[in-house]
Structure 1
Amino acid sequence: MSQEEPVAGFAVAVVREDGRWRCDSMGADALNSLDSAITELRKLRSTGAVFGMLAVDDEFFLLLRPSPGGVSLLLSDAAAALDYDIAADALDLLRVDPPEDDDDELWPEGTLDILADLGLPGPELQVITAEVDLYPDQQLQMVAQRCGFADQFGALLDRIQQ
């Protein structure tokens, strides 16, 4: 997809501060540009956790977590880099080559323990990414449930999808 075409999906910034979760919509450009998504997340000042959850075109999701030393990320399906600029940018940032065109195997790429300190260990996130019968929004709902912000996430999605 070229960056001029709008990308379907949603981008959510998740903040945990003083033991409370907050979910907010990110700008539309976050789905088109990995740099835009990272920049928007870096602007959120918090003493707690800050990360982004992007569901792109009912195909894959990205988890992004900026830190002072860079950004951790997880791309749920490395093959998405063949069709989506933002996924290709994620693999570039990870310094991973995209899969071959004829490779139809689904695998995540990046940091599986990106949310381990928030209650979602890497092996459990691996299981979620392997749920190929689920759409990305359903997989992210599982992430939200496991980390403890399912109510806030669900309420935001209800507002976005109206």
Structure 2
Amino acid sequence: MAHEIATASDQGISAVRSHDREHFDDAVAQLEKHGDAARAVHAYVIRELLETSFQDGVSGDDVSDVLTRTVDTAAQWDVSVPPDSVVAVLIGALGVSERRGDDAAAAAIPLAAIIGAAMLVAAEMATDAAVDHVPYLVRAVDEIHRAQTIEIP
């Protein structure tokens, strides 16, 4: 499952970066099969990209800028991305929704919209930081695997 998520996420993020709607839609459909795991991988990738982009800390203006750029970039190649799905992805990656109990609002957003928004955000941030997204995906899968295999007393 981890390999499938990493492969589909790579396909989706690459499709965003090259404005390939067909491969983007295919990646979203593949990732919907493993929704919770895909969300965990994407949250880790986005969190690390935020750390790469904003090494002195992330401000509300920074998050707003990422939101605006993501929605604008998606509109340029005719991908519909509801801003609330981008917000849910960003606050989820930052862990805000878990602390504030906003999971109900995020749950009302269709899974496909969350997955698509996550790949759009990851692509936008990787492009803006001029980094390859693949190492971020690899580290995300490795970290989740490590966390799941550690025995908690």
Normalising by the residue count of structure 1, what TM-score does the alignment of the two structures yield?
0.30
Bigger relative contact order (CA 8 A; separation at least 6): 2
Write 1 or 2 for the structure with the bigger share of helix. Answer: 2
Normalising by the residue count of structure 2, what TM-score does the alignment of the two structures yield?
0.31
Write 1 or 2 for the structure with the bigger share of strand. Answer: 1
